Amino acid sequence: MEPTVEASPHATNSKPLLAFIRASCLHIGAAAAAASLRHDLVGRHQLTAHDIDAAYAVSRVTPGTNLLALYALLGHRLGGWRLALAAIAVGALLPGSFAVLIAYAYSHSTSPMVTAIMAGARAGGVAVFLGAAVRLLKPQLVAHRRTGVAFAVLAFLVVWMLPVSLFVVLLVSGAAGSLWLRSAP
């Protein structure tokens, strides 16, 4: 069956929105939230696993936060633009509120224990950041091999050595990729 992004006219908005709320509040990271949505929506026969997989694949090539793109696609499939916008709002505002509350508590704390926790968390954050770069890069290098390695090395050297705007680097990389990296990853 060909995957579709058209809205389902028969879906009701309240129960699917609860699935988005649950995924947004109870799971850390996009993969866990996507798995929660899949479990809820497929388990209730609101969507097929194929629908979810197709939406997930498209969300990976959408600029910005992949999870919110997935919310938009699944929300649109289930309830049109209205549910798509509601799902995006839920996906951004609920976790954002949690994060701001934690940041507020941290900013106003003078406890040495909180300071020690944040010192460790900062080191862990940079570790995850560097590891995520490698994780993100690996499938691209597998798909594009020499051209991909050349792209990565060139971008690294340009940013490392030249005072060039990162926006420009990304825009040029996108234009060059549309010409020389067309094979599917």
Three-point CA angle 64, 65, 69, nearest 5°:
95
Chain-centre distance of CA 79, in angstroms? Answer: 22
User: In this chain, which stretch among 12-20, 43-51, 103-111 interacts with another protein, using CB under 8 A?
Assistant: 103-111
End-to-end CA distance of the chain: 22
At its nearest, how many Å lie between another protein and the CB of residue 17?
15
> Which of positions 18-37 make contact with another protein (CB under 8 A)?
24-33
Nearest CA to 5 out of 99, 84, 90 is that of: 84
The residue count for binding another protein (CB under 8 A) is 104
Q: State in angstroms the smallest separation of the CB of 109 from another protein.
A: 12
Smallest gap from Cβ 81 to another protein, in A, equals 8
Residues of this chain, 51-80, that bind another protein according to CB under 8 A: 54-55, 58-73, 76
How many CA atoms, within 13 angstroms, populate the side-chain half-sphere of residue 131? 6
Using alpha carbons only, what angle is made at residue 125 by residues 110 and 168, rounded to the nearest 5 degrees?
A: 120
152 near another protein (CB under 8 A):
yes
Q: How far is the CB of 40 from another protein (least distance, A)?
A: 16
Query: Which residue type is seen at 15?
Result: K
Q: Identify which range of 10-18, 41-49, 145-153 contacts another protein by CB under 8 A.
A: 145-153
Q: Does residue 49 bind another protein (CB under 8 A)? A: no
